[in-house]
Structure 1
Amino acid sequence: MLTVALCTLRNRWVSFAGCFAALFLGTALIAAMGQVLASTVGTPDRGPQRYAAAPVVVVPDGTLTVRTAHGVTSVPLAEPRGLPAGLAARFPGAVVDRVFAARLDGGPPAVGRPWSAARTAPQRLTRGRAPVGDGEVAVSSSALRAGAGTQVGRRVTVVTAGGAAAYTVVGVTTAGPQGTVFFGDARAAQLSPRIDALALWEPTGRVRAAVGGRAVVLTGQDRALPDPSRPADDRARNDADTVVGIAGGFAAFVCVFVVSSTFALAVSQRRREFALLRTAGATRRQVRRMVYAEAWAVALAAASLGALAGPFAGRRLLDRLIGLGMAPEWTVPSRSVVPALVAFPTGVLVALLGAAAAARRAGRVAPAEAMREADVEARAMTPARWVLGLGALGTALVCMVVTAVGDPASAAHSKSSMPVVMLLVAAAGLLAPAVAGPVTRLLVAPLRRLRGATGEVVPAALLASVRQTAMTAGPVLVTVGLTAALLGGAAMGDAAKEAVQTRPVRADYLVLPAAGSGLDRQLVDRLRALPGVDVATEAQTDVCTLEGDTVLIGRPVETVDPQALRAVLDLPLAAGSLDRLDDGGIVVSRSWGRRLGDRVPVWRADGSKVTLTVVGVLADGAPADAYATGAHAFSALPSVAYVKLRAGTSPAAAASVLRQAAAGHNARVVTRAAWARDAGAGGRSASRVGLLAVLAVILAYTAIALVNTVLIAVADRTPERRALRLLGARRAQVLRFVAAEALVVAAIGTVLAGGTATLALAGLWVSLAQLTGPVGVSLPWAATTAVAAGCAILAVSASVLAAALTDRPRRPAPA
């Protein structure tokens, strides 16, 4: 059987070329994704930046540790504690560093630090001198507006947590790890009494002995822990890992789907050959072994080449992710061979899994089928196909129902919705032969009205081989279905998130800080003093709760002024009232698992423990996880100020007064409508980048798989086209038949994809409606139409080109 399998591969190389290409691409994609993942995981953290020049750094213990009955649990603190002043006095030569909010009015994000801390990076003067007096500052070049030029000698407004004040710029330094406004040491101590770090040039052993257990001593690579880029670096690494993981999962799914469909199509074209083998005495087991041998031969060649080519594609993919800001720019490309070693057996396994169903089907071919004169399918659906298809569909529906009833909020996240979409696409592919017949009859109805042979030949050919038609339409189903479902789901999820954030807001205006900062206290006092308006602020902090008496869970909490909150926010409550919210109470969401009146021990951002009473339970669709009073905010600055006009207050006059108050404080005043529009656009742009990166990988693969599948189908129909030529059809007519068939097949795949996407979006709509009420269905018509048109063009072009090349007139043999 091995000899027969090799001969079959040689004689039917066109059919198996499609299997080879699909498997090669799938293996290469898996290896490429693994290479990117190895790069992001294996890249070491960046070296120290803020304290690169200091060999020893002492920082406060930023960890909350709680002893439980089952051991010790720890989480990072959100609010720095600061070092004791007595500890700093023990090291006369230490640099006392204070890092606090400070930013030039209209400038990029920056922090304030004492001038003595400039040597820790180091940041050197490029112009001017060091600040000495209370009214002097030096600024790093990265803290200046682009194109601002030299600032030495100019008066500038610097906004700190306390408010805005005028300073004279006496020096400009190198960029450093982040934008920095340097103050004199005495002035910096006035603005921020808390000591955030000590930079030392002393022996590590002496420092550890002097510090004891009152702080943490950092040396070597650990000095990078306080760096300002550390959180952003971790987020970038996690974003890259998430995108690669999702794309890799989809690549594996699409690979299995396409390879299994391609093998099934290739085997279904050879039923007569299998019947002849059975007639010649081959057993069913031998036929199955022959199909597996063919799969082995194709898989070994394709998977080995794909595993070798994947790492090279992985480097380009990594560069693209870095360019999109979805991977750390300092990522070092991995040279590990593990992704290739994993991709190779994965590709072989995928080929064998894809060939398994085809091998079973080949083994069931009866010897009598060798007497057939026409390739008309007796049965489009097998029992196993019914079971798998209905099982996948039922699983997807159950998942959607469970999500809608139990956790509708998770439906807006791609990690929850993508598996459901994959199940629906798999179900549609398995059940496609059952519905391809009615869909084909509907789509070919206009062709039957045409004069000539096209109206008869094309519908008859498609309806005579419904299973093959469905298999050929499979790549179109995957391509168009995933595009419509994923982009439509992302748009609906963004709309739901926007509604959750914007619907409760009753304020007429919002005062928002510049990106990377908060509203200073001076501005907040000015806003509250304005006549004719009610002002409420929100500042985000974090608290920790002990879940199950075993682990600390960090939870975001919005701190507000309860008296003014109700005038500007209409929060959905399932129980309780905001009127009872005070310093000893808290309003929580259902995710806390608490009931009204429960006493909840919480650890606040600075590690202090308090017990709060649940005075309200938020309903689904609330914009935050919990609300508490401003007494628990500590140093957190407000992220927004809601302004509600009182009766009789002129909107135009109020807007003018608000803008005057916000001038010089790195803040802007926007109407509620403008804020809602900007918030929706920002959320959409952020969520689209990762999704488009995933779709780009999938669409590139399925587009090539579509061409391969069409080529296999066209090659199998060569005898039929030659028969048409013998009956008198011109070559141009035959090519029109081929183009019409390809166009109808693409339309069938698009219709099936539309049904799949509709079902997926309907389930998502039901879940999101539990949070925000009915949400608008935003279908990605432009993207879906473009992808469907591209599939149709590819299918028609590949079909016509393949038919033109295989149906060339043969030269007569020489006499």
Structure 2
Amino acid sequence: MLRLAFAASRGRMASLAGSFVALMFAVALVAACGMLMESGLRARVPAERYGAAPVVVAGLEQAVLATEDDFLGVPLTEPVAIPATLAGEIAKVPGVAKVVPEIGFPVGLTGARESVTGRSWESAALTPYTLKKGRAPATPHEIVTDVTLGHEIGQKLHVTGRDGLREYTVTGTAEPGTNRPGEDGPGADGRASVFFTPGRAAELFARPGKVLAFGVFGDGQSEELARRVERALGDTVTVYAGDRRGMAEDVTAREGREMLIAIGGSLGGVILMVAVLVVASAFGLAVRQRDREIALLRAIGATPRQIRAMIGQESLVIGVAAVVPGLPLGVALGRWLFDQFVARGMLPRGFTPVTGPLPLLVAAAVGLATAWLAARGAVRRAARVKPTEALGEAAAERRELGRGRMIAGLVFLALGLSASAMAMYMAGETAAATAGAIVLLLITAATLLGPWLVRLAARLAGGVIGRTSPVGGYLAVANTRTAAKRLASVAGPLILMFAFAATTLFSQSTIAHATTRQALDGNRADHILQAAGPGLPPEVARAARELPGVTGVTETIRTKVIGDTTELGSRTLKPMAAIGLTVPVRGIDLGVTSGSLDRLRGNGVALSTLAAGGFGASVGDKVRLLMGDGTPVRLTVVALYERGLGYGDVALPYALARDHSASGMSSQLYVTGGAKEGLAALAPGLTVLDRAAARAAIDTAQEFNDWVNRLLLGMIIVFIVISVVNTLVTATGARVREFALLRLVGGTRRQVRAMVRWEALLIGALAVVTGTLITAPTLMALTYGLTGSPLPHIPSLTYATMALATMALAYTATLTPTHKTLLGRPADQIRR
């Protein structure tokens, strides 16, 4: 059978080309996703700030919730402080020679476009920094700066910290030492340092009795020392050693790692689903084109088992051939994606991709398994046909669907419609989360019921096509009705392409439109103040309130919290965007529906209606939150509001948000009244935005956020388009004998081309209509869950472009091989 499979593969290279290309790109995409996941799990960042410390002890990386059925971990988004008293416990660990505390925080420096890291001078040994000129700081008004900043001894500098803008004198410049061999280069932090006295650094850190981390020096191997420290301290801290130390320097490194895992996992799952549908369609078409061959083998005595074995082994031959180029292509694609994330700032500098054997082995196994299962599923019925019926079955396609396929298709259709209807009665993000399941269920149903859809399209459009083109149109409709299964194999990938692209693009457009609209509707300020670096010092807000004509100033801090919520009856942790606000709130209208933001003080909290649905809370109820640094709080709901997409699902008292943020400074000031010139003069480096500029900034931020989705969507669409083109070309190229017969009985080339043209337009239109019907309930569930309205935002130009592109793809990929096929002599072609 293996020899026969090789022989059959060599003889049918053209018909198997679509399966090969689909498999090759599926393997490449799965390998690239596997690389992203492995990089998220194993990626290391060279240590920079902690380059000299063999072991680093820092706070927990994530908030953890242990339930009866699961173990949930959510990464923390703010630096986690740990008790300074742990230094004594660490010092008692055998082998520890010295423990150096680290106090680090972002500060703004006059003339610097980005924030720098403020540190205590005693932390200099962790890098290590050594004085190049001058002396260490001795008073609260003295600092030592990084040599890369280019300052001179005695120079006066203004530094912005959480307690305001202060003037300092440079008493020295320090130079970072070289890390250990193989560890040179920028790490996760990538920022220059400014050193204060230990007392002044503690004031700016603003967490009495706590530090950011400890550098541990000792004898022996760092890994062994780390294990001893970890055993002594338990699970209340995270201990880093070796090439993991860079992960302790900046929370963005941990966030980047989680992002890679999430993107790799979710994208890999979608690609696997798409690959199964596309490859199954390609193999189904290839097997149907071999009906005569299979029928002949059954007629001369081949058993169903032998037929299945032959097709299965043939699929493995194709699978192996696709895996060989697919794996290196996947590695190249994975590295390119990784570089794009770094270039866009979504991953910190120093992150490097990891290329291990496991993702490649998984991709190869997925490719081979997909090929084998798709081929076995396609040949299942053909192998069961009785020998006496085999040749008759090959001569004409059965009109009815197999019972199993029909039942499965109807079940998936019912599940998809039921899920869409149920989502309309769900609250908050639970409804939006069902969108992915709905589109998968409906696409699967459309693929299984494809022949029915093709015949229905022919019946509905047959009269119009027949009157428009009496010969070509009539032949197209007749052929569509009698060859529905073959055309369904062609229509399936087109439907998948349109539905998937429409769902993804219009989900983004709906969310982006709602977010932008809420942000703009809620902005009642005449000016928005912001600054480069970590934020705005508190005296800017005080000075702004005293300016003539200013009627209100609201200080804001953007942060994230973790909600301890319940979804579908299960307790879970959910990251949420949050905003800290000073009261009374002026210049921002959150769209309060109940309660009052004037009570947003102390232990009060305001929730969006979406978040309130997840908590099951209303005004007066208590909710559990974890601040960005992992501190648990129990707050009382004082208000509910509508504009959660524009301003975050949680509104916190300003003081609470400030105390648990790294910088402790305002992100933006919303100012009503006043003159732009007067506001701009409040502090150096201020940016004053009017409403038009604020709208442009929102659009820019939204475009950046959508970049990842567009990139990942583009990869999948390119994969589907390549598969669609191959399927269309293969299907049309296999109709040589059919076209030859039509010409021998009197049909002209023009009439045959007209028939194919109408078939292509019919299949393209079917893909657009069916894809739209699949997209509609999916988007309604998403939109209703996020905005309370079932009407999504669908840009008409984008929809029209997608529809025309789908029709053009079907038309071009069908007519091109048809033209080539019609160049031959029909008498010669009929013998094939």
Q: Specify the TM-score bucket, using the shorter chain as the normaliser.
A: 0.7 to 0.9
Q: 1:644 to 1:704 in 2, by over 3 A?
A: closer
* CA positional deviation for 1:23: 3.5
Pairwise mapping of residues 432-581 of structure 1 onto structure 2 (< 5 A)? 432-440=450-458, 448=466, 453-514=471-532, 517-531=534-548, 532-539=550-557, 558-562=579-583, 564-565=584-585, 568-573=588-593, 575-581=594-600
Measure how far apart 1:668 and its partner are: 2.5
Q: Secondary structure at the match of 1:568?
A: coil
Say yes or no: does 1:249 pair with 2:269: yes
Q: Does 1:346 align with 2:366?
A: yes
Distance (Å, rounded) in 1 between the aligned partners of 2:562 and 2:27: 44
Aligned to 2:409: 389
Q: Does 1:788 align with 2:789?
A: no
Amino acid at match of 2:698: A
Write the distance in 2 (CA, Å) between the matches of 1:801 and 1:128: 82
What is the alpha-carbon distance in structure 1 between the residues aligned to residue 402 and residue 721 of structure 2?
28
CA contact (8 A) 1:506 1:570 kept: no
Q: For residues 789 and 340 of structure 1, do their structure 2 counterparts lie closer, same or farther at Cα, with a shift above 3 Å needed? A: same
| Correspondence 1:99-110 to 2 at 5 A | 99-105=104-110, 107-110=113-116
Q: How does 1:22-37 map to 2 (within 5 A)?
A: 22-37=22-37
Partner of residue 303 from structure 1, selected from 297, 302, 319: 319
Give 1:180's match in structure 2, choosing from 192, 210, 229.
192
Q: What is the one-letter code of the residue matched to 2:280?
A: S
- Kindly report which structure 2 residues correspond to 1:296-375, keeping only aligned pairs within 5 A, or say none: 296-325=312-341, 330=350, 334=354, 336-363=356-383, 365=385
Deviation at 1:316, TM superposition (A): 0.7
Name the residue aligned to 2:737: 719
Q: SS where residue 473 of structure 1 aligns?
A: helix
1:593 equivalent in alignment to 2:620: no
Q: 1:632 aligns with which of 638, 644, 656?
A: 656
2:681 matches 1:660:
yes
Q: C-alpha distance in 2, partners of 1:467/1:525?
A: 73
Find 1:675's aligned residue among 694, 698, 708: 694
2:48 alignment counterpart: 49
Q: 1:7 to 1:183 in 2, by over 3 A?
A: closer
* Structure 2 residues without counterparts, runs of 5 or longer: 177-185
Which residue of the partner structure matches residue 182 of structure 2?
none
| Secondary structure of residue in 2 paired with 1:405 | coil
Distance 1:741 1:67 in 2: 57
Post-superposition Cα deviations, 1:84-107, rounded to whole Å, max 9, x if no partner, equal 69979x999976643233222451
2:286 matches 1:263: no
Q: Which amino acid aligns with 2:426?
A: G
- Contact 1:590–1:617 at 8 Å: present in 2 too? no
In the aligned structure 2, how far is the partner of 1:181 from the partner of 1:6? Answer: 65
Q: Encode CA deviations 1:247-293: one digit per residue, 9 max, x unaligned.
A: 322222122212222333334345555556666667xxx34x34422
- Is the Cα–Cα contact under 8 Å of residues 240 and 248 in structure 2 kept in the other structure? no
Identify the range of structure 1 (268-277 vs 22-31) with the bigger mean alpha-carbon deviation. Answer: 268-277
Contact 1:447 1:455 (C-alpha < 8 Å) held by counterparts: yes
Equivalent in the alignment of 1:648: none
* Percent of pairs with identical residues: 28
Q: 1:628 to 1:791 in 2, by over 3 A?
A: same
Equivalent residue pairs, number: 782
The structure-2 alpha-carbon separation of the partners of 1:125 and 1:261, relative to structure 1 and needing over 3 Å to count, comes to same
CA distance in 2, matches of 1:677, 1:542: 24
In the alignment, which of 700, 708, 718 is matched to residue 700 of structure 1? Answer: 718
Deviation at 1:182, TM superposition (A): 2.0
Aligned AA for 1:46? V
Q: Match of 2:19?
A: 19
Q: Distance in 2 between the 1:519 and 1:698 partners?
A: 42
1:56-115 deviation per Cα after TM superposition (whole angstroms, max 9, x unaligned): 667689999999999x99997865256369979x99997664323322245112222245
CA RMSD of aligned residues (A): 4.9
Range that drifts further, 248-257 or 528-537: 528-537
TM (norm. structure 1) is 0.80
Cα distance change of structure 1 residues 102 and 746 upon mapping to structure 2, 3 Å threshold: same
C-alpha separation in 2, matches of 1:68 and 1:17: 49
- Alpha carbons of 1:630 and 1:458: their partners in 2 closer, same or farther (altered >3 Å)? closer
**Alpha-carbon separation, structure 1, partners of 2:771 and 2:306:** 34
Distance 1:397 1:668, change over 3 A: farther
Cα distance in 1 for partners of 2:130, 2:815 equals 63
Provide the rounded CA distance (Å) in 2 between the counterparts of 1:445 and 1:67: 63
CA deviations 1:554-577 (Å, max 9, x no partner) are 877644334x1277334434x544
Superposition deviation, residue 795 in structure 1: 0.9
Whether the aligned pair in 2 keeps the contact of 1:537 and 1:638 (CA below 8 Å) is no
Distance 1:187 1:119 in 2: 18
Where structure 1 has 5 or more consecutive residues not aligned to the other structure, the ranges are 646-650
Pick which of 745-754 and 602-611 moved more. Answer: 602-611
Residues 752-804 of structure 1, C-alpha deviations (whole Å, 9 max, x = no match): 3333334433443333341x786533353476257526623651365236525
- State the SS of the aligned residue for 1:113: strand
Normalising by structure 2, report the TM-score: 0.78
Q: CA deviation at 1:38?
A: 3.1
2:47 is paired with a residue of what secondary structure? coil
Post-superposition Cα deviations, 1:344-397, rounded to whole Å, max 9, x if no partner, equal 443343334334553343256577767869965452544433322222222222
Q: Please, which moves more after superposition, 545-554 or 636-645?
A: 545-554
| Residues 218-297 of structure 1 aligned to structure 2 (within 5 Å) | 220-221=241-242, 224=245, 227-229=248-250, 231-271=251-291, 286-287=303-304, 289-297=305-313
Worse-matched range after superposition: 304-313 or 359-368: 359-368
Range with greater deviation from structure 2 (291-300 or 313-322): 291-300
Cα pair distance change 1:166/1:785, threshold 3 Å:
farther
Residue type at the aligned position of 2:109: L
